[in-house]
Amino acid sequence: MLQEHIRNIAIIAHVDHGKTTLVDQMLKATHAFRDNQQVEERVLDSNDQERERGITILAKNISIEYNGVKINVIDTPGHADFGGEVERVLKMADGAVLLVDAAEGPMPQTRFVLSHAIAAGLSIMVCINKIDRGGADPEKALNDCLDLMMDLGADDAQLEFSMEHVVYASAVNGFARLDPEDGNGDMLPLMDMIVDSLPAPDVDLDGPLAMQCVTIDHSDYVGRVGIGRIYSGSIHTGDRILVVKNDGSRAMSQVKQLFTFDYLGRRECGEAQAGDIAAVVGVDSTDIGDVYTDPDNPVELEPIEIDPPTLSIVFEPSTSPLVGREGDIVGGRQLKERLEAERENNVTMRIEELPDKTGTEVSGRGILHLSVLMEQMRREGFEFQVGRPRVLFKKDEHGNTVEPVEQAVVECPGEFSGKVIEVFGNSGGAMVSMDAGTTQTHLEFKIPTRGIMGLKNRILNVTHGEAVFYHTFLEYGPYAGELGVRQNGAMISMSTEKAVAYALGTLQERGTLFVEPGTECYEGMLVGERSKPGDMVVNIARTKSLGNQRSSTADIAVQLTPPKTFSLEEALEYIMDDELVEITPRNVRMRKRILNETDRRKWRVRHGMVDK
């Protein structure tokens, strides 16, 4: 039976193609806000980091009422590091809106989310956004979308649906049109097409209850909240339900509270019916993939597999000489408790304490996935240190070691393509395809995840900053052997003092500096990179020795090049195995694991390592 008063749609787009802005305009078009209400832009990006980075990190649900139809909108992350969210939430949708930039066309991470939507059999409507920007070519963008869908194995019905259901929009200016030149000034053509063309949920209203949990929320008051779509039957507050786990184990539970989505919030209700998306309170320790069903007539649904993590990082309490100066929370116990709380909320991460209790290992889908957690913690006032990211290897059925392999895409001017291919070759990458356009060359590679670390900076260097670089997890492949690591040595501070301009002036001739005059440094801290292999211990506080004779000429002021600064992700990719990143609310510093030079030498001798 079709639930004609409900539409469940996912919005699919590459990072920065405007899907969160489009949702803003859909909310305004349906009068979700009062006329005089002050509303922030990108209202769905409620997380501070989502606003600053301009990306969606968490999949979110909202509901819009239009012409008597409830439209449940699922805003999906476009970045592959948050793909754990994408794969699950698409199970709640019956249709999708594919949003594509009219100038850029479909990009690599559009491919990632779109492939899952096609595999789920969703009807896909195309929305060509930003038709008013310079260089926009809506017709080419649409053709590229259809070509991409064919490449991803869309069937004839999906392709035909997408060809017939196209909207041209400018989300920033608040209009959608059936033809780019028709002059319409509101979003109603988009809303009409969603209601009239995307399929309504086809469900069994009178059947036994079947609901699958695809997203977990957490409340300090009620614990875990299971969010998912009801496939058949209905669920009521107070119902006794059977909970079937992914591993087949079963347990009884009771629905204490029930919510459905209402614009940007949730509304408590006594009943939710098949076809709708609901949030259930009362299932203890509920997890992704749990099926809530009728105890007397249980329904089986396919289990949900979450892609395994590919990278792990160890979090430790800070041992820096400057610990406690910038953060309020520095203890190991508080760090462990914070990470255990994250384990409750974030099911796509694996968080385990090390056997020797010295730290906590956090495993995720990529550097960005892990750095978002670190950034959140430093904003909460934590000071801690982390080691170099470690790729997680596995054994295949034959006992051979396999490692995560990524699909990497680079678009750059043709004259730099040779240099880009060389950089990938040195990092264990293999070119899959090359498409030379009139201005840009499109290159695709397969490369081990280990080789991705630090690669973006090298590509930007050889292309003079003109390359666009994306990568997504592809598969587990054969172990690629040892890969090249950082070639140049580090400049390491020999003392705990503030950096002095005179000392830095002499050091900048030996390499690249990371600090400027007045920067608080400590023994063992990385203050620069040498232009040669091998580490070098330096004095960053050396001053000019003053005699009792006047100089025949006035002292020439030291001319310093601005220091190289690192974002958190860049620092994680830069460090070596014997180094750490120290993270505080105000600074990201890199340091040696063993701060004292004499102790480092003893450690190297003890482990049979000889200094270069």
List, in order, residues 6 or more apart from 47 with CB less than 8 Å away.
57, 58
**β-bridge partners, 69:** 66
Q: What is the Cα–Cα distance from 75 to 52, expressed in whole angstroms?
A: 18
Q: What is the Cα–Cα distance from 96 to 94, expressed in whole angstroms?
A: 7
Binding positions are 16-21, 129-132
Binding positions for GTP are 16-21, 129-132
Which alpha helices (H) appear in 61-164, and where do they start and end? Answer: 83-89, 108-119, 138-151, 156-164
Evaluate whether 250 touches 243 at the Cβ level (below 8 Å): yes
Query: Which structure tokens are listed for 151?
Result: 């490449």
Q: Where are the beta strands (DSSP E) in 449-542?
A: 468-478, 490-493, 511-513, 526-530, 536-538
Nearest to 471 by CA among 372, 373, 568, 367: 367
Q: What are phi and psi of 585, to 5 degrees?
A: -60, -25
Q: What is the Cα–Cα distance from 92 to 389, expressed in whole angstroms?
A: 34
Evaluate whether 427 touches 469 at the Cβ level (below 8 Å): no
Q: Where are the beta strands (DSSP E) in 462-525?
A: 468-478, 490-493, 511-513
Strand order in the sheet with 490-493: 511-513, 526-530, 490-493, 536-538
Nearest to 184 by CA among 106, 133, 131, 126: 131
Q: Are strands 490-493 and 536-538 parallel, antiparallel or unpaired?
A: parallel
Q: What is the Cα–Cα distance from 500 to 504, expressed in whole angstroms?
A: 6
Look up residue 318 and give its DSSP letter: -
Q: What DSSP line would sit under 352-419, residue for residue?
A: EE-TTSS-EEEEESSHHHHHHHHHHHHHTTB-EEE---EE--EE-TTS-EEEEEEEEEEEEEGGGHHH
Residues in the chain, overall count: 612
Helix (H) or strand (E) holding 128, with range, is strand 123-129
Evaluate whether 409 touches 469 at the Cβ level (below 8 Å): yes
Evaluate whether 374 touches 583 at the Cβ level (below 8 Å): yes
Helix (H) or strand (E) holding 443, with range, is strand 440-448
Look up residue 595 and give its DSSP letter: -
Query: Which structure tokens are listed for 379?
Result: 């904003």
Q: Crossing angle of helices 156-164/138-151, nearest 10°?
A: 170
Look up residue 563 and give its DSSP letter: P
List, in order, residues 6 or more apart from 493 with CB less than 8 Å away.
521, 522, 523, 524, 525, 526, 527, 537, 538, 540
Evaluate whether 244 touches 250 at the Cβ level (below 8 Å): yes
Q: What is the Cα–Cα distance from 389 to 448, expressed in whole angstroms?
A: 14
Evaluate whether 63 touches 90 at the Cβ level (below 8 Å): no
Query: Which structure tokens are listed for 361?
Result: 């290992």
